[in-house]
Structures are given as C-alpha cells and as structure tokens.
C-alpha cells in the first residue's frame, strides 16, 4: 500500500472515512483519539491507485456520540449512544453471494461467513439419544431396584421373585408350564441384555477395537456391535445345540411333531426359549434407537417375524421345532460377526476365509435345512399330528374335540395357557406362511452375499453390502453449513491501552515506512489481513 497522510480533524465531531473498493472483507478499527472523537474505518484493497473520501457503508457506519469532557481534558463518547449492531440473518440462501468468500465481486455490500448449521431433532430422537447415552445406568439401576425390593420388602417378594426365576413349576413332573407370568422373566432378560450389551461394548469390546488400531468412531461402534453378537451366539448357540442333541427329535424331522400337545417342558428348554425371545425383543428396540442402516426395514421385519414365530411355537407347544429353527439360524451368526470384526481390525485375508465359511454355513443352514423344515410342515404334519382341539393341563388333558365356530379359538393359547389349543389346516398354514416369508427375506440377503462373492473372486475384499458403514468405513457424517452476514470486529479501549503495533510485534510482520500518523498492522500484507479476519481460504 502506498504511504498516505491523513490530516487531523479540525473539530471534535468530525468523522473521517478512508475506504477502498469493497472487494475484500471489511476490517474496522474504532480509535479513541486524544485529539478529538473520531471513528476511522479502514478497508483493505489489493492495490489502490487513488485515495478518496466517501461515506461509510451503512452496515459499518457508526454515528458520533455527544462529547463529554473527562478529567484529563480528552473527549469521550457516551456509551449510551453506541451504535446498534446489525442483526444477523440466518438463512440457507445466499442471495448476495457471487462466489466463494474469497471471490466476492465488487457488487456485494456485505461479507458472508460460514457457520455450522444446527440440526433440528424430533422429540423421539432426543429421547432415543438420551436412552442410548444412559442405557448402562438405567438398566443396572432398574435391576438394583428389583434386587433391593426382593431383599428388603417382604411383601414385594411375591412379585419380584418372578423376575429371577422361571414360573409355573410342577413339582410332580419336575417340568414347567407356560403362562402370563413368564413376562416377568422376559422383562428381566431384556433389561439385563440391554445393560450387558452397552457395558461390554463400551468397556470391553471398544478398548479391544482401539488396541487393534481402529480409530474411526463409526467403525469402532460397528466393531463393538458385531463383537457383542459374537459373544451372545457363542453362549446361546451351544446351549441350543445341547438341547437339540439330547432331545427325541435329534436327526429326525418327523419326531418334531410327535407327542403333541405336551403342555409342559423342562427348565432348560423353557429358559432357552424365553431368553431368545427376550433377545429378539431387545434387538427390535436397539435397531430403532440407534443409527439406522440401509436395510433397517428388512431387519425390523425380520425381527418381528422371528419374535412372532418364537411366541407362537411357545404358546402352541411346538417347542421342538422352535429349538431346531433357532439352532440352524444362529450358526450363521457365529461366522458373520467374526468375519466383520476381522475386517474392521485389518485382517483382510482371515476375513475372506471366514467369509467363505460363512457363505457355506448360510447356504446349508438357511437354504437347505430351513427348507427341509418347511417341507416337513407341509408333508409330515398332516400325517402325524392329530386334527382337533385339546384343553386342560397334562394331568387332565381333554381331547381331541372339534374346534368351535369362528376364529377366536386361534387366540386361546396366547390368552389361556390351559385353554383350547387346536390343530387343523388353517393353523398349519398360519405357521408355514411366516416361515416362507422369512425365507424370502433371507433369499434377498443371499443375493447381496453373492455380489460380495463375485467381488472377492475378482480380487476385492469381502464387504457386507447390507450395512451403511461397510464399503465406506471412514466416511463420517457431513456437516451442514449456513451463511451469515459478518460484522466488523470493534473494541473500545482507553488511550492508555491503545497499542497499534502490538499485533505487528507478535506476528513478526515487518511493515514498510508510512508517513501516516495512524497505522494498520498487517495492512501491507493482504494475506495476513485475510487470515486475521477469518477467511476460510486465504489468498496468496
């Protein structure tokens, strides 16, 4: 910038404005002068050739305040007449903007700055986020409350006891019936699974993921989720296999349907089915309060059908087939979470091997054995199971009797554990149709798996295309921005605090000589000036 001398104002209320073309962002300095009150506004320009006085733009102009003599004889502006700041307009549109912030044309009267847009969230999202952030404390506080009530409130034990124990025990047979009080144990399991899942993911599995070198927040979350599933199925799949191997229906499809209706079951089978039922109910909650994936509605539908089938086989005393279907479905979920965890940890070769085992297990379990069960329902059930209705307990079982008119008898097993339980063609297809629908969902997923197989055969890595993070692990959520009108930075200081060379000394900028009595630090360096006012992209 060329040297320019500014004449001193002739009287106290003079206002002198030195300005250049409005291309770059404005930089305003308010100076309390010992000579007279004056507001001096400077605007930087790349290479001004002429100097001229002109009115200050409306957005930056400040009117002089009445003068008041101070003790030292200097004039001071009254603080009560300070100029009002222009209100910022928050809007997504930028009508005055002809380009990026560092490419504003001379036609612009204002400077726009980019601010992070606040995302509006619904009440449900606020509630879901609160639950996710506090699920450990909430779960274990509820469990502690139940334990304390059981220990210190004798009158409550009649009810709290049901949370920790299986209901409807028959001492004569050593087995259990089913009933509405099973809801206590299911509720206890849901709360327990919620607390265990969040606690193990946060304090055990996430540290393991960080130890393996996972740094992305989203990837670490997915690693913890898959590792938790692996932990769960490592416990419950062997449990289910043990029940299957020690039961009369081991390796025999026809024995799945014999001895019906048996209205009692042993504690191992009852605990297994109730825990599995609670797990899938808890999974329905999880997928709706946590970040949704691309296949959210497929997963949600799958969970609804699975939960309904478990409930139906439990109420209609088809616990044998329920156990077998859970075993052949759960074996797949041992390989898939392990393959994903290996992928997240960077063991791509091991991931490919585990993915191959997963594909084999998926095809055999869900498209061979599963279809064999569906075929057995279609072909074996009419030959083995008696047609008609039964009522009463095992000790006093009455039937078969003809089903009553209407459709209400279909709900009796859910409402009255000792009431009517029937079998006919309608009920047979009521079981078979959801199983076929579940098979259609798994076929849709298998087509996605085939895509991954083709990619691996072409030399790529095994990635699950169902999820929103696989295939883009490092992608984080993009922030949204809005543009706002910038305001000049102004500060009122006393003459004893005024130090116009302070910034120049701190930044180390060497300024050319100037004949002016007022200096603007960094004014000779346009890049430094733009950096000071906060331009996101500086101009070289």
Each residue's pLDDT tens digit, 230-260: 999 999 999 999 999 999 889 989 999 998 8
- Average pLDDT of 497-518? 52
In a domain, 467, yes or no: no
In a domain, 463, yes or no: no
In a domain, 268, yes or no: yes
**Statement to judge: residues 445 and 507 lie in one domain:** no
In a domain, 132, yes or no: no
In a domain, 327, yes or no: yes
**Statement to judge: residues 32 and 177 lie in one domain:** no
Phi, psi of 479 (to 5 degrees): -80, 145
Burial tier of 314 (Cβ tally within 10 Å: 0-12, 13-18, 19+): buried
Pairing of strands 388-391, 67-69: unpaired
**Statement to judge: residues 258 and 112 lie in one domain:** no
Residue 22: how many other CB atoms lie within 10 Å: 19
Burial tier of 293 (Cβ tally within 10 Å: 0-12, 13-18, 19+): middle
Q: How many domains does the chain have?
A: 2
Q: What is the mean pLDDT of the chain?
A: 75
**Statement to judge: residues 406 and 270 lie in one domain:** yes
**Statement to judge: residues 61 and 178 lie in one domain:** no
- Average pLDDT of 481-502? 60
**Statement to judge: residues 111 and 191 lie in one domain:** no
**Statement to judge: residues 371 and 419 lie in one domain:** yes
In a domain, 217, yes or no: yes
How far is residue 369's CA from residue 324's CA, in Å, rounded to a whole number?
Answer: 10
User: Across the strands, what pairs with 483?
Assistant: 91, 114
Both structure tokens of 439: 């098979």
Check residue 459 and give its pLDDT. 74
**Statement to judge: residues 177 and 309 lie in one domain:** yes
**Statement to judge: residues 408 and 298 lie in one domain:** yes
Last-in-domain residue among 432, 457, 482: 457
- Average pLDDT of 438-464? 82
- Average pLDDT of 124-153? 88
Residue 27, CB half-sphere, CA atoms under 13 Å: how many? Answer: 19
Most confident option among 106-120, 121-135, 171-185, 404-418: 171-185
In a domain, 474, yes or no: no
Both structure tokens of 29: 């300095």
In a domain, 236, yes or no: yes
Number of H-type helices and E-type strands within the chain: 16, 13
**Statement to judge: residues 374 and 438 lie in one domain:** yes
Instruction: Give the residue numbers spanning the domain of 346.
Output: 165-457
Last-in-domain residue among 457, 480, 515: 457
Residue entry with tokens 């499809």? 253
Inter-residue contact 231 to 250 (CB < 8 Å): no
Last-in-domain residue among 457, 481, 515: 457
Residue 440 parent element (H or E): helix 425-457
Nearest to 357 by CA among 453, 471, 448, 458: 453
**Statement to judge: residues 452 and 499 lie in one domain:** no
How far is residue 494's CA from residue 180's CA, in Å, rounded to a whole number?
Answer: 80
- Average pLDDT of 87-91? 47
Both structure tokens of 522: 């960094």
**Statement to judge: residues 21 and 68 lie in one domain:** yes
Q: What is the pLDDT of residues 275-311, one digit of tens each?
A: 999 999 999 988 888 777 777 888 888 899 899 989 9
| Phi-psi region at 508: left, alpha or beta (left = phi > 0; alpha = psi -120 to 50) | left
Check residue 468 and give its pLDDT. 45
Residue 72: how many other CB atoms lie within 10 Å: 9
Check residue 462 and give its pLDDT. 60
Most confident option among 74-78, 303-307, 397-401: 303-307
Q: In this model, does residue 270 exceed pLDDT 50?
A: yes
Nearest to 261 by CA among 397, 103, 124: 397
């Amino acid at each position: 910038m060329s040297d320019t001398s500014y004449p001193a104002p002739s009287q106290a209320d003079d206002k002198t404005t030195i300005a250049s073309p409005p291309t770059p962002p404005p930089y305003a300095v308010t100076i309390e002068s010992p000579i007279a009150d004056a507001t001096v506004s400077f605007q930087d320009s790349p290479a001004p050739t002429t100097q001229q006085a002109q009115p200050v733009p409306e957005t930056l102009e400040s009117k002089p305040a009445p003068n008041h003599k101070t003790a030292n004889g200097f004039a001071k502006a009254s603080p009560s007449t300070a100029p009002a700041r222009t209100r910022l307009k928050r809007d997504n549109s930028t009508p005055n903007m002809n380009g990026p912030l560092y490419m504003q044309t001379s036609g612009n009267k204002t400077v726009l700055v980019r601010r992070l847009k606040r995302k509006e969230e619904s009440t449900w999202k606020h509630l879901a986020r609160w639950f996710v952030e506090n699920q450990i404390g909430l779960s274990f506080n509820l469990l502690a409350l139940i334990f304390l009530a059981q220990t210190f409130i004798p009158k409550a034990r009649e009810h709290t006891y049901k949370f920790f124990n299986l209901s409807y025990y028959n001492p004569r047979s050593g087995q259990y019936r089913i009933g509405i009080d099973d809801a206590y144990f299911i509720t206890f399991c849901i709360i327990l699974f919620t607390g265990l899942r969040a606690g193990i993911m946060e304090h055990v599995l996430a540290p393991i993921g960080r130890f393996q070198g996972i740094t992305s927040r989203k990837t670490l979350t997915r690693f913890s989720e898959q590792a938790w599933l692996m932990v769960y199925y490592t416990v419950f799949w062997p449990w289910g296999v043990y029940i299957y191997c020690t039961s009369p229906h081991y390796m025999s499809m026809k024995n799945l349907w014999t001895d019906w209706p048996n209205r009692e079951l042993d504690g191992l089978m009852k605990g297994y089915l109730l825990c599995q039922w609670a797990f899938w109910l808890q999974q329905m909650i999880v997928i709706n309060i946590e970040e949704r994936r691309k296949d959210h509605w497929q997963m949600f539908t799958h969970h609804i059908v699975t939960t309904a089938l478990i409930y139906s086989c439990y109420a209609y005393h088809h616990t044998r087939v329920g156990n077998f279907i859970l075993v052949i479905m759960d074996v797949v979920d041992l390989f898939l979470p392990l393959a994903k965890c290996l992928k997240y940890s960077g063991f791509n070769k091991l991931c490919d091997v585990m993915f191959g085992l997963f594909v084999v297990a998926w095809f055999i379990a869900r498209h061979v054995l599963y279809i064999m069960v569906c075929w057995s329902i279609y072909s074996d059930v009419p030959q083995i199971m008696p047609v008609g209705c039964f009522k009463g307990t095992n000790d006093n079982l009455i039937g078969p009797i003809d089903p009553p008119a209407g459709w209400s008898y279909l709900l009796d097993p859910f409402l009255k554990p000792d009431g009517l339980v029937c079998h006919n063609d309608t009920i047979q297809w009521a079981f078979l149709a959801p199983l076929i629908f579940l098979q259609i969902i798994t076929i849709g997923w298998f087509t996605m798996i085939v895509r991954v197989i083709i990619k691996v055969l072409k030399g790529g890595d095994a990635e699950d295309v169902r999820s929103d993070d696989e295939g883009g692990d490092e992608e984080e959520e993009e922030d949204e921005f809005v543009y706002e009108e910038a305001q000049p930075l102004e500060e009122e200081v006393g003459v004893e605090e005024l130090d116009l060379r302070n910034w120049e000394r701190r930044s180390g900028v060497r300024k050319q000589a100037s004949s002016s009595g007022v200096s603007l630090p960094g004014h000779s360096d346009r890049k430094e000036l733009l950096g000071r006012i906060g331009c996101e992209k500086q101009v070289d």
